Amino acid sequence: MAARQYKLSINIPTVRLSNSRPFITQKAVLNSLHAQQIFERGYDMCANGLFSLTVVLRFIGTEEQALAVETMVDDLLNKALDEIRQEIARMKELSETNGCETMISYTNSRTVEIQITSPRAIRFLAIIREFDQLIAAMDTLWLACIIDDTHYAVEAYQWKRRILRLAGQIRILATRAILAARKKENAEIAADEKEAKLINELSATPHREPESTPVADLHR
């Protein structure tokens, strides 16, 4: 069994190795090489971005900012999961139509153990696991000579690219949101410091009473 340690990315602002964070351990069996590669290349990247959106953004930004970006991320995750499940259903229907009932096995399945640090990370892991099932359905059709080599290679490549692009999109959304919140925070701090400096300068300036004119001089 392969133990997967959570890797924090230096590309996400304010994510620090020294911070203590809660996590749960999740195990997943990945049968296909394609799903294993997606996990290796995309999971940490996506999980780091999701943690930043869920936790870090709320520290340096506002709840409204976090909710707005999370809505976009939820839409991306839901769309990807729905599309993969629809494709699995289509592949299974094609298998049943052609009488493919053979159970497929793999020579080098992997059980990965990872740390889940945000609720949405589980959903991205679910996408990888569903993708693994999609590849199994494609492998069944390929071994049964229902789809040819070219069709198989193109379909597998396109799905892998889509899922990795999803992970990249989430990382970019997280990075931009964090940077925007940090920029706004710095601007507010600078404005507060400027105001405090002005108040201090006014307080330090000695107050001079206006000079009075002698009464005798007024009658001259």
Quick: pLDDT tens for 126-167. 999 999 999 999 999 999 999 999 999 999 999 999 999 999
User: Which single residue is written with the structure tokens 């996990």?
Assistant: 39
Predicted local distance difference test score (pLDDT) of residue 167: 94
Predicted local distance difference test score (pLDDT) of residue 43: 94
Q: What is the mean pLDDT of residues 111-132?
A: 93
- Does the pLDDT value for residue 171 go beyond 60? yes
Work out the pLDDT band at 204, boundaries 50, 70, 90.
low
Lowest-confidence region among 4-13, 14-23, 116-125, 209-218: 4-13
Residue in 103, 193, 183 with CA at minimum distance from that of residue 139:
103
Sheet of 110-116, strands arranged across: 2-3, 110-116, 24-30
According to the per-residue pLDDT averaged within each range, which of 19-28, 55-64, 150-159, 184-193 is highest?
150-159
- Does the pLDDT value for residue 212 go beyond 70? no
- 26 within some domain: yes
- 214 within some domain: no
Three-state secondary structure call for residue 110: strand
User: Which single residue is written with the structure tokens 């990795």?
Assistant: 164
Average pLDDT, the chain: 80
- Does the pLDDT value for residue 87 go beyond 90? yes
- 194 within some domain: no
- 8 within some domain: yes
- The count of structural domains within the chain is 1
Q: Sign of the CA dihedral 18, 23, 27, 32?
A: negative
- 218 within some domain: no
| Angle at alpha carbon of residue 9, lines to 49 and 119, rounded to 5° | 35
- 68 within some domain: yes
The domain in which residue 9 lies consists of 2-183
- 138 within some domain: yes
Residue in 214, 91, 100, 71 with CA at minimum distance from that of residue 159:
91
Three-state secondary structure call for residue 16: coil
Lowest-confidence region among 77-86, 137-146, 160-169, 184-193: 184-193
Pair 60, 185: CB distance under 8 Å: yes
Pair 173, 53: CB distance under 8 Å: yes
- 220 within some domain: no
- Does the pLDDT value for residue 14 go beyond 50? no
Helices assigned H by DSSP within 52-148: 57-60, 63-97, 119-143
